[in-house]
Structure 1
Amino acid sequence: MESTGIYWKSPYAALEAAGIRATVVNARHVKQVPGRKTDVGDAQWLATLARAGLLRGSFVPPAKLRELRLIARQRQKLVGLLSSEKNRMHKVLTDAGIRLGVVVSDIHGQSARAMIKCLLAGQPPEEVLKLASRRLKASREELHDALQGELTGSHVFVLDELLRHIEGLEAGIARFDAHLLGELASEMNALALLQTLPGVDVIGAAMLLVEIGSDMSAFGSPDRLASWVGVCPGNNESAGKRKSGRVRKGNLYVRRLLCEFAHAASRTKSAFQSKFQSLIIRRGYKRAIVALAHKMLRTIFFMLKRGEHYRDSATNYEQLSVQRNASRWIKALTRFGFIPAAA
């Protein structure tokens, strides 16, 4: 059959339940055939190519991971919606003349959110300042000037509704996280392995594992995995001339996760940071991030295949930990009598 979007999933699940293993192939394999572009013609041509053994099946994860994909992808949608609502709230505050975002790095932090709630309750700036944390770098005068605005009734209504929606989305994301990690309890070893990679946290590891699974034999090689995700350079050459090598679409959810990992890893003391710094000068920021995502995906492939944690080639994390904590450890050992105090 020929289908688009998600319409293949129900027949595939029905065939799988009946013990029939169907093959899902990429439409790119038949898309370039001229004169056959109808639904019936596509289905016939697919059947002909399948009988000749000219089609290679795409990766389809097990049923459990396919179900967890619904949870992980809905969580990504909620995170995107949460970011949009936070930006909208910042815009409404600025419209009211409240420039809290200028003096506070995150207006949705604990201290800033408490001040916003106090403002919406009709309290004067002097009372709002009492809720400001002492850890804020801005002075009291700067905070007081930033809170001088004119909140109308419409501003208060919109901000109150936005704040309720934001807190509801945050609670929903927390429920998604708890459910996703609970369902992946049997994959705790793989989750622990992925978290040793710079820039990967437990939720990021869980969402990546749901998309690609922990069995790397389904892909065979890191090149195929990178091609399936869509982070490897394109191969487009004709008559000795190399044309555009832009990446293909691939799995957009995995590519988004890998780019987030790459952004975080580029700021850590690791081999990924030096790779990023060498690429950004020649290729630019965006291309450097995609290249770093490609490198991280290849590393993840071998980590999951071999069952080994990440070992950085440029940084000794054990030595780095000792350098950061040695003085504190020595003081604690001295205080509890494990090391004699100096005379």
Structure 2
Amino acid sequence: MAPAPRGYMEACSSAHHWARCFRAMGIEVRLISPQYVSPFVKTNKNDRNDAQAIVEAASRPTMTFVTVKSLEQQDMQAVHRVRELLVHQRTALINQVRGLLGERGVTMAKSPEAFKRAVPQVLSSCEGEVTSICQAMVLELSQQIQALEDRIKRAETWIKSFMKCSALCKKIAVVGGVGPITATAVVAAVGEAKEFRNGRHLSAWLGLVPRQYSSGGKSQLKGISKRGDTYVRTLLIHGARTVLRYVVGKTDAQSRWLQDLIARRGYNRAAVALANKNARVIQALLSSDTPYRPSTATL
């Protein structure tokens, strides 16, 4: 039986759509990240030179490819992108109100919860420099913020529905620091993570490994590279911070490791180290049938 024809494409906005179309016709499609194609473009950029660069990049034995996303993955990713946009818009409006009131001597904390508590007090009385015009502006912006919060909750409802329907999301959600939002974002980004040879490759793709600057046999490691998917990396680190809040006094193996790491390297490095470890665990869970078995060792 003859092998299926194979084609290579540069990963772009519509690449996953066309890859699914070609696969339906029996053509195996491999996607290559644009940053790995551009070094092979000779002279001027045009369609012919781009095609030659894609073929040249695909012929490299160490080339890594982008996993073709399913429609379900793209739905998950679309919801996350919309939620991220809404959160940014809410933050911008809250900062705008805080700035307007700060110029009049009224200060409030940055969090949305603190904003909700402070706004009724501002609107209750017209004192000092907080005039009726200022109150009207604050009220209008507060209504916009409430509308954004309702839309954010609707997006989170969709995320929870994805969580209930996806076996992969449920499988990795048992890892400490990985909730519904992080689990669905990871599955939307990497699927079954089979394009990654091991957990470290996924961690490196997320930018959670040290940035290396070595020459002449001298190795020099700096801060994390921050390459790859910024959104997923941020979620993993925030999830790790949540775990670190509750490690004090615990005697299991991971908690003792984190307590020692915080004492030696500080809170932020410990959070990144746990996010790195979680990324490796997630890759192992997604690419195999092995269930998660947390360490139960104690002192």
| Distance 1:55-1:212 versus aligned 2 partners, 3 A rule | closer
SS at 1:107 equivalent: helix
Aligned to 1:256: 234
**1:57 and 2:60 correspond:** no
Give the match for residue 207 of structure 2.
230
| 8 Å contact kept, 1:266–1:272 | no
Counterpart residue number, 1:89: 97
Cα displacement (A) at 1:123: 4.2
Q: 1:293 aligns with which of 260, 263, 275?
A: 275
Cα shift at 1:283: 5.1
**Aligned partner letter, 1:262:** A
Contact 2:76–2:184 (CA<8 Å) still a contact in 1?
A: no
Cα contact 2:172–2:282 (8 A) shared by 1: yes
Alignment partner of 1:169 is 2:148: yes
- One-letter amino acid of the counterpart of residue 238, structure 2: E
How big is each residue's C-alpha offset from its partner over 1:27-58, in whole Å with a ceiling of 9 and x where there is no partner? 44444458556343242032144357664422
Matched, 1:117 2:120: yes
CA pair 268-108 structure 1, distance change in 2 beyond 3 A:
same
- Which segments of 5 or more consecutive residues in structure 2 lack a partner in the other structure? 1-7
Query: CA contact under 8 A between 1:73 and 1:253: conserved in structure 2?
Result: no
CA RMSD of aligned residues (A): 3.5
Q: Is the 8 A contact 1:197 1:310 kept in 2?
A: no
Check if 1:78 corresponds to 2:86.
Answer: yes
Quick check: 1:236–1:244 contact (8 Å CA) kept in 2? yes
Q: In 1, distance between residues paired with 2:44 and 2:296? A: 51
The DSSP-based 3-state class of the residue aligned with 2:210 is: coil
- 1:180–1:19 Cα change, 3 Å: farther
Are residue 308 (structure 1) and residue 294 (structure 2) matched? Answer: no
Contact 1:25 1:57 in 2 (8 A): yes
Report the 3-state secondary structure (helix = DSSP H, G, I; strand = E; otherwise coil) of the residue aligned with 1:22. strand
Distance 2:26 2:156 in 1: 33
Q: CA deviation at 1:195?
A: 3.7
| Aligned residue number for residue 200 of structure 1 | 178
> Under a length normalisation based on structure 2, what TM-score does the superposition of the two structures give?
0.77
Deviations 1:271-320 (A, max 9, x none): 5555455445665655443332111211223344345345245669xxxx
Q: Higher mean Cα deviation, 84-93 or 290-299?
A: 84-93
Give, in whole Å, the separation in 1 of the partners of 2:164 and 2:295: 27
Q: Which residue of 1 aligns with 2:19?
A: 12
| Change in CA separation of 1:55 and 1:196 when aligned onto 2, cut-off 3 Å | closer
- Structure-1-length-normalised TM-score: 0.68
CA distance in 1, matches of 2:29, 2:9: 13
Contact 1:196 1:310 in 2 (8 A): no
Letter of the aligned partner of 1:83 in structure 2? T
Q: Say if 2:11 and 2:31, in contact at 8 Å, map to a contact too.
A: no
Q: CA deviation at 1:69?
A: 0.8
Q: Count the aligned residue pairs.
A: 285
Q: More deviation in 251-260 or 42-51? A: 42-51
* 1:102-141 correspondence runs (5 A): 106-109=113-116, 112=117, 116-117=119-120, 119-120=122-123, 122-123=124-125
Shift of 1:173: 0.9
Once the two structures are aligned, what percentage of the paired residues are identical?
A: 24
Q: Which runs of 4+ in 1 moved over 6 A?
A: none
**Contact preservation (8 Å) 2:163, 2:180:** no
Displacement of 1:70? 0.9
As a proportion of its length, which structure holds more strand?
A: 2
- Please point out which of 37, 49, 74 is paired with 1:41: 49
